[in-house]
Copies of this chain bind each other. A is one copy, B any other.
Amino acid sequence: MAKRLIPTLNRVLVEKIVPPTKTPAGILLPEKSTKLNSGKVVAVGPGSYDKAGNVIPVGVKEGDNVLLPEYGGTQVFLGDKEYHLFRDEDILGTLHD
């Protein structure tokens, strides 16, 4: 019953990462370490149009780990899994190890 979503324009489908609130050893992490609001890009749209009618490609790609704004995004359920849709320009950055 799970459907696949191809976003329109510069929309980006993201699966949020729930940050751990404890270390593997069970020690509670301080709140600020757990506040990182990040997610994994699951699908991206074809891009939006600039004023001259050309397509501006989306700045992130499938598989990217992204930093998300604290508010915003549209909650979407596909099957029974929760995702969020963001506009390309609202994604704050990409995260790398």
* Interface residues of A, Cβ cutoff 8 Å to B: 1, 3-9, 11, 13, 30, 32-33, 35-36, 43, 45-46, 49-54, 56, 59-60, 65, 67, 69-70, 74, 76-80, 82, 85, 88-89, 91-97
Contact = CB atoms under 8 A, between A and B. Distances in A.
23 contacts: A1-B33, A3-B36, A3-B65, A3-B97, A4-B95, A5-B67, A5-B93, A8-B89, A8-B93, A8-B94, A11-B93, A13-B93, A30-B80, A33-B79, A35-B77, A49-B50, A50-B51, A50-B53, A51-B52, A53-B54, A69-B74, A74-B92, A85-B92
A8 B9 CA distance: 17
Given A4-B95, A32-B82, A33-B80, 6 more contacts: A3-B36, A6-B96, A32-B80, A43-B93, A49-B56, A52-B53
How many chain copies does the complex carry? 7
